Structures are given as C-alpha cells and as structure tokens.
C-alpha cells in the first residue's frame, strides 16, 4: 500500500468558474487559463504515488506549484478537485477536528525560512508538536532532547532561535519535525535558504538520518543537484503539471520530454549520479571479494580511479555490507548515451 496517493488533484487560486473548469477540461495551459480568466492553476491534474520509506523529491522552477503540491498533501491547502489518499484512506473530505487529528498523527513539516517561534527556547520549539498533542511536559521535553541530539544540537537547548546560525536553526526545524515522530516528513525547500557548504552538509546528514529512520519524506527543491543527491525518486514540475517522475538515473539519462531534457542537458552526470543508481544486485555465486570496493553513496566519478588497469567490476558496499556490483560498461553507457556531442552543432 502506498503511503501517499495523489489522484488527479487540481488546485486553482482565484475564482473557480465554469469557464476555468472548461478550459481545464480542454487541457489548456496554466498561462492560457491565467490570461483568459485571471485564475491561477497552481497544480494541474497531478497524479503521484509515494511509497513507504522513500525520499520523494519534487523539483521545479519557482512558481511551478511545488509548495502548493506539498501543502495539498497535509491539507494546509484544500484541493479544488481530485482525491488524496493517505495510507489508503481518502482524506479529501475531513471535518476540521478530523483534519487536526490527521495532521497530528501523520505529518511533520519543515519550512524554507525555518518558521521557528522566536519567543520559545530551542528545546520548547522542538517540543512544540508534542505540546500541541497535550503530552505531559516531562515526557515531551525528554523526546525533544533526544531529537536535538539526533541533529547534533543538544548543547543549545536553552538558546533562543535567533542566537543560532541559519544552518543550526534549520536543524532545530528538523528536530521539531523528528520529535513529533510521525512517519511522513514534508520538507518545503528546507535547505534552500542555507549557504552551499552548510547545505551539502545538511543533505548528507538527512541521508544518514534517513538510513536509520526510514521515514517517508517528501522533499521540495528548485535545485537539480539537491534533487539528484537526496532523491530516491524525483518528480519534475512545470507550470503546475508533473513533467516526469523517475529515479535520478531515469531523469538524467532518459528525459521524457523537451522540458526535462533542457533541464538535465548541461549537468555532469558523473557528479550527480551515485554508484547506487547504476549498480546491479550481486548474485550469490559471484565472488565479490577480489574486486575493489566502492561505497553505494559515492558519486560516479569516484569510480574512475578504481577502473584503471583493466578492472571491469567493482563491489558496492553500504555500511560494510555488499549491496551490488557496478560494471564499467554500465558506467560508460550511463555517462555517454544521449550525451554525445553533436558534430553539426559544434
């Protein structure tokens, strides 16, 4: 059973008139509908299925409808039409009280500009979700402290948010979400406001945490590198529509339409694809001991060195365990195919 299913969901800002409905029916684009009616189609007939424990990235340019989409999932924004299933239950129509309960039980959200409460200490901020659920003080502070430890901030619990750097503030935002202990984590451009180095660090940390936590994460970003580095699967959005859904490898090596093609054409695949994206499972009879070893989270270019001296196969390990084999031919194919320099164009 999928954790999140978005079925034909549309969100229109502004009047939803008969005219808008008809234009949508005729599959007119967001811009056409805007200029003809003045209403903004933020999300248009979106269909997505998000599985348990995957990191699902929604990526697209500013204004493409990412924030609206993620808010449709926890119903901060009500859909204009379509259905939303969470863990198999249709939640498109809930009463106000049911909606609250539904949010408390299922979701924690992390925001772009952190959205911490300036008058609360780091610890109390972290405990907010539990406080809302009326958990006794001692218990919730204990959980909050544990969450702060997870993000490496237990020494700062008595500070106010504005005494921390941006990166640390977002760790608090993450801790607040983790303390809540829900199995779905919604992150709207959570790292976009951070400096590039801090950002990379946070991405790596999220990946590491996720290996332990196994939550279902919906992560919004406008940055392709970020999408490729943390996503198990990626949905590309354009003008409210979902242009393609696929694994990082599929998106990069097999763009389905011109928009996605344009998006990925200039990237250096060896620096965004990871070993795990191109490896194949090892079968039990194979002797993997002789091969050089590479980590599954390593970027592909890291394999170049090991492929020297005619070696054709590397053993992929994740945390000491063999998880697959990566072959030279496959690496070559992934990096080269569809990426050839066109003679005429040069």
Partner 1 sequence: MLDNIPRLPLSEWTTEFVRWITSAFSFIFDPINNYLGTLMNWIITGLEFIPPVLFIIIIMALSAIFMKKKVLSPILIGIGLLFIYNQGLWENLIDTMTLVIISGLISIVIGVPLGILMSRSNTFEMLMKPILDLMQTMPAFVYLIPAVAFFGIGMVPGVFASVIFASPPTIRLTNLGIRQISEELIEASDSFGTTPMQKLLKVQLPLARPSIMAGINQTIMLALSMVVIASMIGAPGLGTEVLSSLQRAQVGPGFVAGLGIVILAIIIDRFTQTSNSNK
Ligand X SMILES: Nc1ncnc2c1ncn2[C@@H]1O[C@H](COP(=O)(O)OP(=O)(O)O)[C@@H](O)[C@H]1O
Residues forming the site for Mg ion (CB under 5 A): 67
Query: In this complex, which beta carbon is closest to partner 1, that of residue 71 or of residue 238?
Result: 71
- Rule CB under 6 A: say whether 10 interacts with ligand X: no
Which residue in 226, 278, 187, 246 sits closest to 49, CA to CA?
A: 246
Query: Per the structure block, which two tokens stand in for 135?
Result: 């958990």
Query: In this complex, which beta carbon is closest to Mg ion, that of residue 67 or of residue 182?
Result: 67
- Rule CB under 6 A: say whether 64 interacts with ligand X: yes
- Rule CB under 8 A: say whether 162 interacts with partner 1: no
- Rule CB under 6 A: say whether 68 interacts with ligand X: yes
Q: How far is the CB of 225 from Mg ion (least distance, A)?
A: 18
Max alpha carbon distance in the chain (Å)? 71
- Rule CB under 6 A: say whether 284 interacts with ligand X: no
- Rule CB under 8 A: say whether 89 interacts with partner 1: no
- Rule CB under 8 A: say whether 113 interacts with partner 1: yes
- Rule CB under 8 A: say whether 159 interacts with partner 1: no
Q: How far is the CB of 105 from partner 1 (least distance, A)?
A: 8
CA 278/CA 280 separation, integer angstroms: 7
Q: Which of 23, 44, 59, 65 binds ligand X (CB under 6 A)?
A: 65
CA 151/CA 250 separation, integer angstroms: 32
**Interface residues for partner 1 in 283-302 (CB under 8 A)?**
none
Query: In this complex, which beta carbon is closest to Mg ion, that of residue 63 or of residue 338?
Result: 63
CA 53/CA 49 separation, integer angstroms: 12
Query: In this complex, which beta carbon is closest to ligand X, that of residue 112 or of residue 247?
Result: 112
* 133 contacts 94 by C-beta, under 8 angstroms: no
CB atoms within 10 A of CB 172: 27
**297: exposed, middle or buried (Cβ count in 10 Å: 0-12, 13-18, 19+):** middle
Stretch that binds ligand X, among 64-72, 124-132, 202-210, 287-295 (CB under 6 A): 64-72
**29: exposed, middle or buried (Cβ count in 10 Å: 0-12, 13-18, 19+):** middle
- Rule CB under 8 A: say whether 128 interacts with partner 1: yes
CA 91/CA 106 separation, integer angstroms: 12
What is the 3-state composition of the chain as percent helix, strand, coil, each rounded to the nearest 5? 40, 25, 35
Q: How far is the CB of 222 from Mg ion (least distance, A)?
A: 8
Q: How far is the CB of 284 from ligand X (least distance, A)?
A: 46
**13: exposed, middle or buried (Cβ count in 10 Å: 0-12, 13-18, 19+):** middle
The residues that touch partner 1, with contacts defined as CB under 8 A, are 71, 74, 76, 99-104, 107-109, 111-113, 115, 117-119, 128-129, 131-133, 180, 186
């Amino acid at each position: 059973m999928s954790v999140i299913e978005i079925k034909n969901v549309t969100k229109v800002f502004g009047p939803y008139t008969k005219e808008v409905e008809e234009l949508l029916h005729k599959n007119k684009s967001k811009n056409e509908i805007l200029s003809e009616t003045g209403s903004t189609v933020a999300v248009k007939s979106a269909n997505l299925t998000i599985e348990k424990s995957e990191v699902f990235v929604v990526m697209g340019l500013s204004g493409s409808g990412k924030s609206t989409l993620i808010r449709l999932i926890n119903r901060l924004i009500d859909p204009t039409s379509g259905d939303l299933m969470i863990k198999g239950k249709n939640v498109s129509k809930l009463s106000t009280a049911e909606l609250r309960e539904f949010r408390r039980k299922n979701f924690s959200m992390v925001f772009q500009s952190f959205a911490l409460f300036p008058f609360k200490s780091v610890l109390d901020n972290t405990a907010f979700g539990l406080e809302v659920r009326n958990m006794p003080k001692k218990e919730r502070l204990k959980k909050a402290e544990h969450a702060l430890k997870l993000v490496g901030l237990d020494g700062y619990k008595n500070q106010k948010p504005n005494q921390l750097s941006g990166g640390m503030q977002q760790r608090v935002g993450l801790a607040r979400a983790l303390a809540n202990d829900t199995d779905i984590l919604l992150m709207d451009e959570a790292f976009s406001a951070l400096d590039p180095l801090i950002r990379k660090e946070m991405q790596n940390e999220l990946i590491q945490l996720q290996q332990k936590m196994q939550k279902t994460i919906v992560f919004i970003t406008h940055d392709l590198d970020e999408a490729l580095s943390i996503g198990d699967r990626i949905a590309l959005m354009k003008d409210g529509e979902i242009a393609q859904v696929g694994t990082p490898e599929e998106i990069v090596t097999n763009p389905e339409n011109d928009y996605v093609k344009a998006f990925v054409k200039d990237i250096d695949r060896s620096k965004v694809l990871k070993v795990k994206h191109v490896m194949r499972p090892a079968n039990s009879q194979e002797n993997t001991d002789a091969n050089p070893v590479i980590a599954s989270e390593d970027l592909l270019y890291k394999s170049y060195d090991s492929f020297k001296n005619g070696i054709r196969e590397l053993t992929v390990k994740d945390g000491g365990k063999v998880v697959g084999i990566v072959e030279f031919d496959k690496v070559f194919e992934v990096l080269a195919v569809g990426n050839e320099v066109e003679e005429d164009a040069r």
